[in-house]
């Protein structure tokens, strides 16, 4: 298994842990992504993209299942990231694991998937 060079985010209320499994990069987000998470998240996602490109990753899975809240500023980082994925020459798929009990996730992620409907998918797991 190739090593990945992405330090985790571990804050009081929010954390982001990245792991690599075969050809799939996983990011698990937990807690509440408010104003304090904006900068770390906006730094993290370009690193994820760079690492996915370096490793030739086929899929990046973003786990929102335990993410209770994300403010619009944090979500904008994902918009930037998906735009990067969409415009990259070597594309990889992005799957969001969404908690169907959280309406904000469903709506925002659906809108995000419209940017690259052939690359982005959303999977829900009952909470």
Partner 1 sequence: MTVFPLEIVEQFRTAALERLKRIEASWTALTESGDGDGQAVMHREAHNLKGESRLIGFADVNLLCHKLEDLFALAGDRHYKVGEDFDLAVTMTTRFMAMLVRKKVGTHAGIDLPGFLGHLDEVIADTVAFPPSAPASQTQRSSHRIRIPLEARERAGIAAVDVFIEAARGRGGRLDTAWRQLRDLLAIDELVPLRPNLEKHRDSSIALLRELGRSAHVEFDLGEFDVISEVVGVLDVALLHLLRNAIDHGIEPSSRRLAKGKPPTGRITVRSKLIKQTVTLTVSDDGSGIDYELVRARGLGLGWLDVASAANATQDELKGLLMRTGFSTRTRATDVSGRGVGLDAVSTAVTSIGGALQVESSSEGTNWLVEASMPDVLVAAHAFRVPGISVPFAIRTDWEPCDSTTVFVDLAVALGLGGPTLGEVRFAVRRGSRTVGFVAGETPHETSIRRLVTTPSCAIAEVALIDGVEGLLLRPERLR
Q: Is 83 in the site for partner 1 (CB under 8 A)?
A: yes
Name the segment binding partner 1 (CB under 8 A); options: 1-9, 11-19, 81-89, 92-100: 81-89
Pairing assessment for the beta strands 120-124 and 24-33 based on DSSP bridges: unpaired
Beta carbon of residue 115, minimum distance to partner 1 (angstroms, whole number): 6
Q: Residue 53, exposed/middle/buried by CB under 10 A (0-12, 13-18, 19+)? A: middle
Q: Looking at residues 105 to 124 of the shown chain, list those that interact with partner 1 (rule: CB under 8 A).
A: 107-108, 110-119
Q: Is 54 in the site for partner 1 (CB under 8 A)?
A: no
Q: Output the CA torsion 39→53→75→31 (10° steps).
A: -70
Q: Is 80 in the site for partner 1 (CB under 8 A)?
A: yes
- Backbone dihedral angles phi then psi of residue 114, each to the nearest 5 degrees: -65, -20
Name the segment binding partner 1 (CB under 8 A); options: 3-11, 38-46, 70-78, 92-100: 70-78
Please state the separation of Cα 126 from the chain's center in Å.
19
Beta carbon of residue 62, minimum distance to partner 1 (angstroms, whole number): 17
Q: Residue 49, exposed/middle/buried by CB under 10 A (0-12, 13-18, 19+)? A: buried
- Contacting residues toward partner 1, per CB under 8 A: 71-72, 75-76, 79-80, 83, 86-87, 103-104, 107-108, 110-119
């Amino acid at each position: 298994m190739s090593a990945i060079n992405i330090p985790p985010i571990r804050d009081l209320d929010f954390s982001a842990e990245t792991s690599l499994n075969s050809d799939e990069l996983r990011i698990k987000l937990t807690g509440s992504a408010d104003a304090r998470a904006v900068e770390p998240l906006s730094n993290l996602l370009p690193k994820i993209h760079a690492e996915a490109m370096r490793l030739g990753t086929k899929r990046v899975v973003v786990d929102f299942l335990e993410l209770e809240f994300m403010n619009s500023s944090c979500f904008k980082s994902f918009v930037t990231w998906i735009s990067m994925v969409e415009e990259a020459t070597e594309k990889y798929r992005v799957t969001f694991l969404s908690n169907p009990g959280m309406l904000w996730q469903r709506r925002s992620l659906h809108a995000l998937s419209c940017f690259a409907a052939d690359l982005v998918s959303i999977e829900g797991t009952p909470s």
